[in-house]
Structure 1
Amino acid sequence: MRTIDEKASPNRREAALPDPPATTPWYRRPALVPWAWASALCLLYATVAVRRHLLMRTTGYDLGIFEQAVRAYAELRAPVVPLRGEDFNLLGDHFHPLLATLAPLYRLGPSPLTLLVAQSALLALGAVPLVRWARRAVGPRGAHAVALGYGLSWGVASAAAFDFHEVALAVPLLSFSLEALGRRRWTAAVAWAAPLLLVKEDLGLTLAAVGGYIAFRAHRGGGGRTDRRARTLGLATLAAGLLGSFLEIKVLLPAFAPTGGYAHGGQLAAAHGSLLGALAHAPLDLLRPDTKATTLILVLAPSALLALRSPLVLVALPTLAWRMASENVFHWGTAFHYSAILMPVVFAGLLDVLGRESNPRAVRAALATVLAVTAALLPSFPLAQLAQRATWHTTAHLDAARALLARIPDGATVAASNRLAPQLTSRCTVVLFPTFPVGGRLYEYRRTDLPRPTAEWIVHDPEAPEAWPYRRGHWPYPLEQQQAELSAAVEKYGYTLVARRDGITLLRRDRR
């Protein structure tokens, strides 16, 4: 008989669990169930991600960018990314040196699919500690409900179906850390959360939140006595997280950035003229416009809003705060990868609450509500693509694009449209066509005085299979200007037309 340490597991419902008999099938063995769920979820996410790539729905911004960075690490080079600009070191955009851990995988399989499958595995791995915790807190059947709730949650699904992003590395780290927090294993919680500093510069604030939670909850049990060692660990972790983010934003990022500053700092300050002004208006800005309030509700919805009753939900505050304070409208909504890091927090809060619930009927009702919310939201988010005919259908336009891309030799330098770029980044040096806005800013650009193209090849496709969030032909700027640049390449800069099929244009620079 296994027993659970009282100090490590304060939740009343976490009773002693017997070891299974030797004849128990593998799929019913508690130690294997979380990993079985992670494997199934990985397959699900990878199917969506790989199909999107084969349908050319992935983009240079961001899959191509991250592939160029990981490819550089795999070749033992600095992560210089041509898609972001000439000699642009990606560590000057966001601080994510932990990406280098994917280099060995990429060396074995140099393909964007390697990153997509790795991301799928990382997101799925986040389910393991949650399912393990759920079995202790709400029983084996409840663990399956939590696995479905987390695995099909819209925040994880949105990340799995949008290119690749460094936040995938943070999801399992935070999930394991939260499980340790739930069991009051403070040292383990800090050990799992500490690498967040190497995933992205803002995640030092999440590490600080973990430390703050430990400092607040560091009690030995009866009599409200404080565990001084745990309190010290919590305060030290809080300070390390804050200091780490500060140094990354103020010292490390400017050291790598071509402009010598933090490229994303202005998104917090611009709306009110200064960072201090942004902070002063933050309480009001959290709920305006309405998109922000909708997102806040949807973040908590997978837990049937029960996560609000757990102090663990405070770990989500740093991510929610910078997103709601940002002037970037994409940060406010439910698309992209921004909410993936919040899903482990929400489900950890749910388990913390249910683990203290003494009424089994209330627990069952809560889990039924979680599954109902999951089912209701599922059709509105990317996993529903698997049920769409278009996901499994190859068009003549895709065939034309593949035929033209195949004419570009390995090792060539190519200026490619956004959605064609990640089809080439594993075998060519790729920059964006048309030229990305001057200064690297997405929302501020000039339409004149663009630099002369220098790539050997130009391949341009005006169509986009997904009209949102970028309108057809309008990224990074209007289609008519893109066509004008194509004409200028031929008329002024010595490019010749190699082929044109189904609207896709392939040009090659005249070697004379």
Structure 2
Amino acid sequence: MAQLVVSQSARESAAAAPAARQQDRIRTVALTVLCFTAVLAVGLQQWATVRIGGFDLGIFDQAVRAYSHFRLPRSPIKNYHHEFPPGFSLLGDHFSPVLALLAPLYWVWDDPRMLIGAQAALFAAGVPIVRRIAAHCFAQAPPATVRRAADLSCLVYGLGWPLLRASGVGFHEVAFAVPLTLLMLERGLARRYGAVLVCAVLLCCTKEDLGLLAAAYGAVLIGRGRRDGDRPAVRTGLTLFVLGPVAALLAIRVLIPAMGGVPGYYWNYSALGPDMGSAALRFLTDPIAAFAVTVDHPEKPVLLLWLLGPLLLLPLGSATLWCAVPLLAERVFSDNPSHWATTHHYDAFLWPVLLVAAVETAARLHRGRPGRPVARWTLGAVACSLLISVVCGLGSLLLPAAWTPSPSERALAEGVRMVPTGATVEADNNAAPRLTRRTRVVIADATPRDAEYVLIQTVRKMFPFTTVDDQRDRVLLLLDNGYTMLWAKDGVVLLHRTDPGRPVPGARVPGDDSVPVKEPEVRS
């Protein structure tokens, strides 16, 4: 009789398994679509209101378009603004050859919004990976708990504030970094170490400093492999730990300069020394003073609280958090105030690590003390994260007014339509992405560029100008030196150069002898 009951129970479980898998697939698809829709909507909302700039959507649009025509990824916006010589390639700015994978998309639709959609799709691709990570971590829990943990993890990831922030400021290499980091961590949990190495290689081709993240994960694998007696994990960890920094140094010291970049161009660590060698010496000889740099401004500890607090410090309970240390160090040791802020895309690089570390900690707490206290802790982290996401952009998606451009923004879009196809243009930063497809456009900045047309606004300060008066002065300078006003509306003006033979004082076009300049580190 007992055997009959056991046999019947086994048959019922076997019959229920396909239904459970089908429910999991439905949940995964639903959450993936939710993530894609949310981050895409945030990006398109910023596009609709003319708030996405040539820095950086226009730059990447010019680069991927060049790839789609089987050329090196050159960007006039980047070249002109930072005074790089004409042969400069974006691979000499950040080593991101993985962006070439997006080129076929431009054969379908040649438009900057294709990058907004591609980034949304890449972020959404992380949802199924997060579900597998939760399943790995909660493998010993009852099926209902596994499903609940997977659902909550996917929800927090897909609607996470770092993804919304990144989507709201255009497109960046982080679009690839997020799913690749998740996949590397998931394959490590599944002990598929060959796939871990493939993901690490792709990360090194996404941005030069991600080799350091791979190296940190190598250290995590070494520790876990030694604890569990997993020799393949130790070997994989050693490979990552050694070759990750080598790949980063190779990109920074060899590949980037070979593509027209300047060694040390992004060295923002003058408090530690003029170069990497002097910074290392500073750490060895005066570590206390070196680490004091990480708290020399209130925004730096606030950054750490912002990253860890919404997850109720759960990431601190997992060794995976060490993977975030190199990227965090880059920011808190930096002199550049934009690296400390949470209004850019930088947090999205850390989001996969923070989320996986939080899930691992929650699973360990559940194993050690299953019950309501742990559940309340985890649900509190979920609620806090989603509340911040609402503030960071989700809430505004439901407000019609948030989709309506201001009068000056509407005027910018109207001015764009008046620029002839094929012209050379200096444009307001937020107008530039709308001109990249059919003109040779650079952003209007402190230096006149002798363009045929200039589209600029004079009522609101726009990057990279420091004051509205500077923008107005530019208009007056051009009107006095060979330009005519074609059109003006709501503080936006379109100028046309009618006297090309008359030189504009201070005008300069980058040439072979140009010396690249860095962006001034001005607080907004």
Q: Is the shorter-chain TM-score for this pair beyond 0.5, marking a shared fold?
A: yes
> Is 2:467 aligned against 1:478?
yes
Alignment of 1:195-214 (within 5 A): 195-214=202-221
1:327: which partner in 2?
335
Distance 2:193 2:131 in 1: 20
Aligned Cα root-mean-square deviation (Å)? 2.4
Query: Residues 388 and 272 (structure 1 numbering): CA distance in 2 closer, same or farther, change over 3 Å?
Result: farther
Match of 1:133, as an amino acid?
I
Distance 1:251 1:330 in 2: 27
> Is 2:487 aligned against 1:491?
no
Figure out how many residues of one structure are paired with residues of the other and give that number: 466
Match of 2:209, as an amino acid?
D
Match of 2:434, as an amino acid?
Q
1:500: which partner in 2?
488
Shift of 1:230: 2.9
Distance 2:410 2:230 in 1: 65
Give a deviation string over 1:1-20, Cα, whole Å, max 9, x none. Answer: xxxxxxxxxxxxxxxx9677
The gaps in structure 1 that reach 5 residues or longer are 1-16, 436-449, 465-471
Match of 2:198, as an amino acid?
A
- Whether the aligned pair in 1 keeps the contact of 2:34 and 2:158 (CA below 8 Å) is no
- Whether the aligned pair in 2 keeps the contact of 1:65 and 1:81 (CA below 8 Å) is yes
> Is 2:291 aligned against 1:289?
no
2:425: which partner in 1?
414
Match of 1:392, as an amino acid?
W
Shift of 1:389: 4.4
Q: 2:346 aligns with which of 332, 338, 345?
A: 338
- Secondary structure of the residue aligned to 1:430 is strand
Give a deviation string over 1:60-99, Cα, whole Å, max 9, x none. Answer: 1111111111111111111111111252321111111111
Shift of 1:496: 1.7
Between 1:174-183 and 1:92-101, the stretch displaced more is 174-183
Distance 1:288 1:388 in 2: 39
Query: Residues 495 and 38 (structure 1 numbering): CA distance in 2 closer, same or farther, change over 3 Å?
Result: same
Shift of 1:23: 7.9
Distance 2:30 2:290 in 1: 43
- Whether the aligned pair in 1 keeps the contact of 2:66 and 2:73 (CA below 8 Å) is yes
Q: 1:458 aligns with which of 450, 454, 461?
A: 454
1:433: which partner in 2?
444
Query: What is the TM-score normalised by the length of structure 2?
Result: 0.83
- Whether the aligned pair in 2 keeps the contact of 1:186 and 1:214 (CA below 8 Å) is no
- Secondary structure of the residue aligned to 2:438 is coil
- Whether the aligned pair in 2 keeps the contact of 1:146 and 1:367 (CA below 8 Å) is no
Match of 2:74, as an amino acid?
V
Q: Percent of aligned positions with the same letter in both sequences?
A: 32
Match of 2:64, as an amino acid?
V
Shift of 1:191: 2.2
Q: Based on CA coordinates, which of the two structures has the bigger radius of gyration?
A: 2
> Is 2:195 aligned against 1:192?
no
1:8: which partner in 2?
none
1:228: which partner in 2?
231
Query: Residues 233 and 299 (structure 1 numbering): CA distance in 2 closer, same or farther, change over 3 Å?
Result: same
> Is 2:158 aligned against 1:164?
no
Higher helix share: 2
Query: Residues 404 and 186 (structure 1 numbering): CA distance in 2 closer, same or farther, change over 3 Å?
Result: same
Alignment of 1:299-310 (within 5 A): 299-310=307-318
Match of 1:506, as an amino acid?
L
Shift of 1:384: 3.1
Shift of 1:113: 0.6
Q: 2:403 aligns with which of 389, 392, 417?
A: 392
Shift of 1:273: 4.7
Shift of 1:426: 1.9
- Secondary structure of the residue aligned to 2:24 is coil
Q: Runs of 4+ in structure 1 displaced over 6 angstroms?
A: 17-20
Distance 2:381 2:476 in 1: 55
> Is 2:416 aligned against 1:405?
yes
Distance 1:18 1:96 in 2: 48
Between 1:283-292 and 1:318-327, the stretch displaced more is 283-292
Match of 2:402, as an amino acid?
T
- Whether the aligned pair in 2 keeps the contact of 1:416 and 1:460 (CA below 8 Å) is yes
Shift of 1:362: 4.0
Distance 1:18 1:268 in 2: 60
Query: Residues 80 and 301 (structure 1 numbering): CA distance in 2 closer, same or farther, change over 3 Å?
Result: same
Shift of 1:372: 2.2
Shift of 1:349: 1.0
Distance 2:271 2:485 in 1: 44
Between 1:226-235 and 1:165-174, the stretch displaced more is 226-235
Alignment of 1:173-184 (within 5 A): 173-184=180-191
Distance 2:347 2:397 in 1: 21
Query: Residues 268 and 361 (structure 1 numbering): CA distance in 2 closer, same or farther, change over 3 Å?
Result: same
- Secondary structure of the residue aligned to 2:441 is strand
- Whether the aligned pair in 2 keeps the contact of 1:170 and 1:196 (CA below 8 Å) is yes
Distance 1:427 1:229 in 2: 52
> Is 2:260 aligned against 1:257?
yes
- Whether the aligned pair in 1 keeps the contact of 2:48 and 2:404 (CA below 8 Å) is no
Query: Residues 246 and 117 (structure 1 numbering): CA distance in 2 closer, same or farther, change over 3 Å?
Result: same
Shift of 1:478: 2.6
Shift of 1:488: 2.2
Distance 2:445 2:14 in 1: 62
- Secondary structure of the residue aligned to 2:348 is coil
Distance 1:407 1:151 in 2: 39
Give a deviation string over 1:119-178, Cα, whole Å, max 9, x none. Answer: 111122222211232245141122221122222222222112111111111100001111
- Secondary structure of the residue aligned to 1:386 is helix
Between 1:289-298 and 1:379-388, the stretch displaced more is 379-388
- Whether the aligned pair in 1 keeps the contact of 2:311 and 2:385 (CA below 8 Å) is no
Distance 1:101 1:30 in 2: 30
Query: Residues 287 and 387 (structure 1 numbering): CA distance in 2 closer, same or farther, change over 3 Å?
Result: farther
Give a deviation string over 1:439-495, Cα, whole Å, max 9, x none. Answer: xxxxxxxxxxx4x5322211111345xxxxxxx346333322322222222222x22
Distance 1:367 1:426 in 2: 47
Shift of 1:104: 0.7
Distance 1:29 1:379 in 2: 27
- Whether the aligned pair in 1 keeps the contact of 2:50 and 2:405 (CA below 8 Å) is no
Shift of 1:500: 0.8
1:62: which partner in 2?
56
- Whether the aligned pair in 1 keeps the contact of 2:457 and 2:471 (CA below 8 Å) is no
- Whether the aligned pair in 1 keeps the contact of 2:408 and 2:457 (CA below 8 Å) is no
- Whether the aligned pair in 2 keeps the contact of 1:434 and 1:485 (CA below 8 Å) is no
Shift of 1:415: 0.6
